[in-house]
Each structure stands twice: as C-alpha cells, then as structure tokens.
C-alpha cells in the first residue's frame, strides 16, 4: 500500500490538494497502478540501445531574430502598470 504519508508527499510536490474522498480511494488505486508498472523491472537492461527517437541538426535550429507579435493581452490579472497580480509570497 502507498502510505498516507507517501500520498501526501506526492500531493505536496505536485501542489494538489486532495479531497477526503480521494485521500481514501487513491492509496489503493495508485498502489495497483504501481504494481502494474512494476513489471518493467523484469525488462532486461540493455544499455547499448539508444533511447532517443529523434534528432535535430544544429543547422536546422531557429535563427536569432526578434519577432515581436502584435500587442495581445496574453495573461489575465494585469494591473494598470502592466504587472501580473499573483498571490502573496510570504
């Protein structure tokens, strides 16, 4: 079983509050999922296999040019001075 502490830790690093219902249900459900993916351990380790499916050549990369898009309001909660209002830090 995933312990309550472990679940709370995962929820904390993921910055998610869980409902009481979820706190009850999740330990078993997550445990089952983890058991299911545990089978990966049996996979023979072969370090010679490259893990990367895609490569990109340096020559293909974006050139260093400025492109300024037209003034759009990209974010909400913008003050008159242009700052974004967020929750307090302390």
Partner 1 sequence: MTRLDELLAYEVVEGLTEGQFTAEDYVTTILKRIEKVEPKVHSFITLDTDGALSSAKIIDKKLKEKEAIGQLAGVIVGIKDNISTQGIRTTCASKILENYVPTYDATVIKSLKESGAILLGKLNLDEFGMGSTTEYSRYQPTRNPWNLDCVPGGSSGGSGAAVAAGECTIALGSDTGGSIRCPSSFCSVIGLKPTYGRVSRYGLISYANSLEQIGPICRSVRDLVIMLNIISGKDTFDNTSMPSNPISIPKRLNKLNVGIIKELITGSDQEVTKSVYFASEKFKEIGCPCEEVSIKNLHYALPSYYTLASAEASSNLARYDNLRYGFDYSIGEYKWDTYFSNVRENFGEEVKRRILIGSYVLSSGYYGKYYLKARRLRSLLRLELLELFKKYDLLIGPTMPILPFKFGEKIDDPIKMYLVDINTVIANLAGIPAISLPIGFSNGLPIGLQLMAAPFGEQKLIDASYELEKIINIPRRPNSI
Partner 2 sequence: MSMVMIGLEIHAQITALNSKLFCSCRGNYRDLRPNSNICEICCGLPGSLPIINQKAIEYSTMMSIALGCKVPDKIMFYRKNYFYPDLPKNFQITQYNVYGISSIGIEGKYELDEVKQIRISRIQLEEDPGRIAYSEGGMNVRNTALIDYNRAGVALIEIVTEPDFTGPKEVRHFLNKLSLTLEHLDVCDTLLEGSVRCDVNVSMNGGNKVEIKNINSFKEVEKAINYEITRQSNVYGRNLKIEHETRHWDDKKKITFKARSKEEEHDYRYFPEPDIPVIVLGSNFVANLKQRMPELPNERFERFRLKYQLSDHTSNILINDKKLADFFESTLKLHFSPVEIANILVTEFKSLIEDDTEGRDYLKNLKVKPEHIAELVKLIEGNKISRTTAKDILVKIFESGELPTEVVNSSNSFKITDEKTIMDAVHSVFDNEKSAVEDAKKNREAINFLLGKVMKFTNGRADAKIAMRLINSKLNE
Q: Which residues of this chain interact with partner 2, rule CB under 8 A?
A: 13, 15, 52-58, 61-69, 71, 74-75, 78-79, 81-90
Using CB under 8 A as the binding rule, the residues of this chain from 34 to 63 that contact partner 1 are 34, 36-41, 43, 45-46, 49-51, 53-54, 56, 62
- Shortest CB 12 distance to partner 2, Å: 9
Nearer to partner 1, 1 or 75 (CB): 75
Phi and psi based region of residue 54 (left: phi greater than 0; alpha: psi -120 to 50; beta: remaining): beta
All residues at 6 or more sequence positions from 77 whose CB lies less than 8 Å from its CB, including other chains = 84, 85, 86
């Amino acid at each position: 079983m995933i312990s309550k502490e472990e679940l709370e830790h995962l929820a904390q690093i993921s910055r998610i509050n869980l409902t009481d219902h979820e706190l009850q249900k999740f330990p078993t459900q997550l445990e089952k999922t983890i058991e299911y993916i545990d089978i990966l351990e049996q996979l023979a380790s072969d370090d010679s296999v490259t893990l990367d499916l895609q490569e990109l050549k340096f020559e293909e990369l974006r050139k260093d040019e400025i492109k300024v898009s037209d003034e759009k309001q990209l974010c909400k909660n913008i003050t008159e001075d242009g700052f974004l209002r967020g929750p307090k830090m302390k």
